[in-house]
Structure 1
Amino acid sequence: MIKQLKDFKIGPDNAFYGTGRRKESIARVWLVKDTNKQIVKAKDSGKEFDLREYLQRETLYRKVMFPLKLTGLEDKFGIYATVEGGGISGQAEAIMYGIAKALLKYDPELRQTLKKAGLLTRDAREKERKKYGLMKARKGYRWSKR
Structure 2
Amino acid sequence: MSSNSVVYWGTGRRKTSVARVRLVPGNGTITINGRPGDNYLNYNPSYIAAVKAPLETLGLGSEYDILVNVHGGGLTGQSGAIKQGAARALCELSADNRKPLKTEGHLSRDPRAKERRKYGLKKARKAPQFSKR
Normalising to structure 1: TM-score of the pair? 0.84
What count of residue pairs does the alignment treat as equivalent?
132
Per the alignment, in what secondary structure is the counterpart of residue 99 of structure 2? helix
Pairing 1:91–2:83 present: no
SS in 1 for 2:118: coil
Go from structure 1 to structure 2 and tell me whether the alpha carbon gap of 1:24 and 1:104 turns closer, same or farther (over 3 Å shift): same
Could you tell me which runs of 5 or more consecutive residues in structure 1 were left unpaired when the two chains were aligned. 1-7, 42-47
Identity %: 41
C-alpha distance after superposition, 1:57-91 (max 9, x if no partner): 01210111011011011111111111111110110
Mapped pair 1:53 → 2:28 = no
Q: Deviations over 1:18-53 (max 9, x none)?
A: 000001111110001135332111xxxxxx211011
CA positional deviation for 1:140: 1.1
CA contact (8 A) 1:10 1:32 kept: no
Contact 1:22 1:93 in 2 (8 A): yes
Which runs of 5 or more residues in structure 2 are unaligned? Answer: none
Distance 1:25 1:133 in 2: 29
**CA RMSD across the alignment:** 1.6
- TM-score, normalised with respect to structure 2: 0.92
Whole-angstrom distance in 1 between the partners of 2:122 and 2:24 = 47
Shift >2 Å, 4+ stretches: 8-11, 34-37
